[in-house]
Amino acid sequence: MREPHKPILRSSLRQQVYSALLGMLLEGRWDQDSRLNDSALARELGVSRTPVREALIQFESQGLLACDPNRGFSLPPLRAEEAREIYPILWSLEQLAIYLSAASSQELRKTLDHANSRAAVSDPAAALKHDRAWHARLVEASGNKKLIEMTARVEAVSRRYAAAFVRDAMAPERRAREHAQIAEALATEQPARAFALLKMHWRAEMEEVLRGLEEPTPMKRSKAAKAGNA
């Protein structure tokens, strides 16, 4: 049985509630089309419904949740069309972050190498979390707050897809290797190569996600079998 989330006790309540719920969402707490009960979530977090609803409304504006007047908040289905849209945006924003980076290439290389050295390749969920932390360090080096915020929103949507469909056992090792190649390109002042490697890095994940989305689900296989027997 899943242990209840620890109640929130400190100040900055709104931000803490948002962060707590975002963590639940990105960790796969709910299945697709699951309905989110704001009253139950408020009780679990030990807060009123107001900051919970504010967070859910914010998630809807970011594309992480859907809202229906009759059903309330729910997780929207994962769609190939959306995956094809968000990944190019993600790698383009990170390329811009590299271009705007206030840190020197060597300093950025050290930052990224340090982040890459703690990869947890044995646990897919931990490896994905580590991968996203590495990319966050890359974007944060730009010092551009709007870019950081924008990238974080797009990344949050992409993480739902990665958590659901990136199943390649070699993915954590591949990510770590590609991170090192990107960092090396930055250290040797080859920004064009870093841009290309970054695009290839995200494209590989996008293609794996798209393959997963194209695989027939048990329901689809059942319908196809019935149609074939008709």
Measured CA angle at 136 (ends 106, 143), to 5 deg: 65
**Which runs of consecutive H residues, i.e. helices, occur in the chain?**
13-26, 38-45, 49-61, 80-100, 105-116, 124-140, 145-165, 171-187, 191-214, 218-229
Write down the pLDDT at residue 72.
85
Spatial contact of 186 and 112, defined as CB atoms under 8 Å apart = yes
Band the pLDDT of 122: cuts 50, 70, 90: low
Q: In the block, which residue shows the tokens 């990344």?
A: 155
- For 48-95, how does the pLDDT look when each residue is reduced to its tens digit (9 = 90+)? 999 999 999 988 888 888 888 777 888 888 999 999 999 999 999 999
Average pLDDT, the chain: 81
- For 123-153, how does the pLDDT look when each residue is reduced to its tens digit (9 = 90+)? 677 788 888 889 999 999 899 999 999 999 9
The model's pTM is: 0.76
d(CA 180, CA 198): 11
Write down the pLDDT at residue 41.
92
d(CA 102, CA 10): 34
Write down the pLDDT at residue 130.
84
Q: What H or E segment, with its residue span, contains residue 35? A: strand 35-36
